[in-house]
Amino acid sequence: MATVIMVNSSLLPLLIFFIVLLQLFSSTSAVNSITIENFGAIGDGITDAGPAMLAAWSAACTSLVPVDILVPRKTYFLTSVVLNGPCNNSLITFQMEGSTLLAPDYKDTKLSSDYWIRFNGVQGVSLIGGFLDGKGSDFWKCKASTNTASCLPNTGASSLGFLNSKDILVQKLTSSDSKLFHLVFLSSRNVTLDHVTIKAPGDSPNTDGIHVQGSTQVLIQDTGIMTGDDCISVGPGTQDLQIMRVNCGPGHGISIGSLGKGAIEAGVEGVLVRNSTFSGSTNGDSGVKVSNVTYSNIVGTSATPIAMNFNCSTTVPCEEIILEAINLNLINGQPTSFCHSAKGTVRAGVISPTINFNTCT
């Protein structure tokens, strides 16, 4: 006679977690796969998938073998989550092709939440595909029209952040309408962004596309950025940053060392910008030490008469700026260049607009 075991429905999520965890530990295959729907996620765009995402991450992080976390081709509402390391394995991949994640409304986001999705202290994490909808439109309107606590100028959540992490890959991801910055990398190492798309209206405030700070060995390639602030902002302490085949615009271009908020800040060194296009871009100044920066094979149009603006710090001038084959135009008229406290070299090719580092003020 068959034996029937009754399980309290409230214990089902916990039981599923332990079953999946047991499969991960007992398997001898190279990579295991789990799905967030194993942990209760419902792709209806309404039900909060945050608890399921955290449970899936916990199972993957405690596994002794690499894990693929599958996010099915559906729309999931996701509240703010923090995915902490270190993990027992250094290869966790989020397979997100065709899936959409919806951010919470700004009124439902905790004021202490600096990020919608935050990875902290992780190694070997990859995000492949997926669409992040930051739902920033109402938040921007609030910032423009009121001064309430939920939308003060310095509030808002960046969509995706990696902090104190290494060996990170973000590939074929689209980020749309982030409330604040789209992608942030702080104090991280060996980061690759490949075929990423970032988009927000040209008048959206403080929506930097990619912000890199205190990080080393960062590669941004084959990426399109359309936003209301810096396409790429490079903060203090960044070294060995390569930006290749990036389309920027609208936006404020690439701002290097643009913070300068503290009396003493780490410099920016070893930046290469190559084979990139700027369309309707503006630019900003610098407040930290900038050195060893190369701009090579750059084309595009400027939204302001000053197409190249090396406005460096008087106390810590920019050094070792190298220009190669640059052609920037202005829709109406001829663009100009400006330099202040900058030391550089024109190495090869035509530079337009012309610039003479020997006459910098």
Residues designated as active site = 252
The neighbour count for residue 105, using CB atoms within 10 Å, is: 12
* 346/324 Cα distance (integer angstroms): 6
* Structure-token pair, residue 70: 């599958």
Please report how many Cα atoms fall inside a 13 Å half-sphere around the Cα of residue 253, on the Cβ side: 26
Amino acid at 160: L
What are residue 221's DSSP bridge partners? 194, 244
| 275-281-286-288 Cα dihedral, nearest 10 degrees | -50
* Structure-token pair, residue 289: 């030490």
Phi, then psi, of 18 in degrees rounded to 5: -70, -35
**306, 337 Cβ separation under 8 angstroms:** yes
Segment holding 296, helix H or strand E: strand 290-302
Rounded to the nearest 10 degrees, what angle do helices 12-26 and 50-62 cross at? Answer: 30
With tokens 């296009």, the residue in question is 277
Please report how many Cα atoms fall inside a 13 Å half-sphere around the Cα of residue 283, on the Cβ side: 26
**356, 321 Cβ separation under 8 angstroms:** no
Q: Can you say how many angstroms the Cα of residue 270 is from the centroid of all Cα atoms in its chain?
A: 20
